[in-house]
Amino acid sequence: MTIHQTQGSAPSKPGTVTLLQSAATARLRAEAAVEPDAVHTGEVTKETQIIAIYGKGGIGKSFTLANLSYMMAQQGKKVLLIGCDPKSDTTSLLFGGRACPTILETSSKKKLAGEEVAIGDVCFKRDGVYAMELGGPDVGRGCGGRGIIHGFETLEKLGFHEWGFDFVLLDFLGDVVCGGFGLPIARDMCQKVIVVASNDLQSLYVANNVCSAVEYFRKLGGNVGVAGVVINKDDGTGEAQAFAEIAGIPILAAIPADEDIRRKSASYQIIGRPDGEWGPLFAELAQNVADAPPVRPKPLTQDALLGLFSADTVGRDVVLQPATMEDMCGVDHIAKPSLEVVYDAV
């Protein structure tokens, strides 16, 4: 047997390293083989359903949530919409394009003035929908995830856990994977997650990452599951539907790529009205969001995700060619002797 040891350290007894490695390998394999508990699929028993919505930036989360929350309020539900994106644009459509003062900005101003933050400083309402923005730091001046954490700390001081809502909808940016944006999943702050995606690779990549995060925290004892996917700007090509099938999550709604929807959304108009053309679509979405149980997703591998698209779309004919040291240095590479000391077992 040959034991490799770097220069300067004492040699181990023959066989000791192998035994330790075998024991560690067996322990890790045993841990990996333990399946987490199944996601709770029964009726949600908490009086308030807290739902985190994730998706790629620009995919239409804010559009979907503004119309969804408005429809829920029109159905007689008490709804709180919380924007958890540093862009602070979740509530802009709901409020006709007007910017909502953020919790982060308001909290800073109040502290400088020696005053406490009150509900009326950060929470506003329209037609039965209550809404607020957590906000984020200016570009280059802080961590967006830390801003999210600070925002929720402020909400807790304002009595977040005593508020009496039927639904609390959290709009989270899915592109970012730091701890602050994963807060609802990591800390069981919500009962279920919904992803907004479209028939494009990048949005489905983000959706798959969210499913992976849910699965990861399930293995650490978490209880959050995925309730489903909303397909926005659906052009009928079917990639998002195929993703949902393989991941084992339901489609809650498919919002078509329609010029009327695009135009009205761009002019900050709510289309999720009971008496409007798109009312039935958002009424069904509201019911599906309320009823969908959290399920345990089955995240796709990178190759499986790419397999949802045609080869000319993702370039699967490309072959990975290993680089050489000559490529890196631009000259012929001369192998130098290693300083590693090799001890032969007696």
The pLDDT tens digits for 142-152 are: 565 666 777 78
The one catalytic residue in 78, 87, 110, 125 is: 87
Amino acid at the residue 258: D
pLDDT band at 100 (very low <50, low <70, confident <90, very high): confident
DSSP 129: E
Residue 3: which pLDDT band, with cuts at 50, 70 and 90? very low
DSSP 304-341: HHHTTS-HHHHTTT-------HHHHHSSPPPPPPP--E
pTM score: 0.77
For residues 293 and 8, the model is more confident at 293
Catalytic annotation present for 61: yes
Single out the residue of 162, 77, 78, 76 nearest to residue 119, CA to CA: 162
Q: What is the pLDDT of residues 43-96, one digit of tens each?
A: 544 589 999 999 988 899 999 999 999 999 999 999 999 988 777 778 889 998
Return the closest-CA partner of residue 250 out of 231, 233, 265: 231
- Please name the residues in contact with 103: beta carbons below 8 A apart, sequence gap of 6 or more: 117, 122, 132, 133, 134, 135, 151, 154, 155
pLDDT confidence tier of residue 30, bands split at 50, 70 and 90: confident
Among 56, 192, 233, 264, the one annotated catalytic:
56
Nearest alpha-carbon partner for 226 in 193, 187, 253, 251:
193
Q: How confident is the model at residue 1 (pLDDT cuts 50, 70, 90)?
A: very low
Res 314 pLDDT > 90 = no
Question: Which conformational region is residue 335 in: left (phi greater than 0), alpha (psi within -120 to 50 degrees), or beta?
Answer: beta
Residue 110 falls in the annotated catalytic set = no
User: pLDDT tens across 201-236, in order?
Assistant: 999 999 999 999 999 888 888 889 999 999 999 999
Check whether 4 has a pLDDT greater than 50: no
Residue type for position 276 = G
Question: Among this protein's residues, is 109 annotated catalytic?
Answer: no
> Which tokens sit at 43?
């009726």
**Closest residue by Cα to residue 193 from 80, 48, 50:** 50
Exactly one of 61, 192, 233, 264 is catalytic; name it: 61
Per-residue pLDDT, 88: 73
pLDDT in tens, 241-271: 999 999 999 999 999 999 999 999 999 999 9
Give the domains, in start order, of the chain with CATH numbers: 50-306 (3.40.50.300)
Mean pLDDT of 177-198: 81
* Beta carbons of 11 and 343 less than 8 angstroms apart: yes
175 is annotated as an active-site residue: yes
Residue 264: which residues within 8 A CB-CB, separation 6 or more? 271
Q: Which of 121, 166, 175, 258 is catalytic?
A: 175
Distance CA 80, CA 86 (A): 18
Write the DSSP assignment of 4-20 as a string of letters.
EE-TTSPPPPTTHHHHH
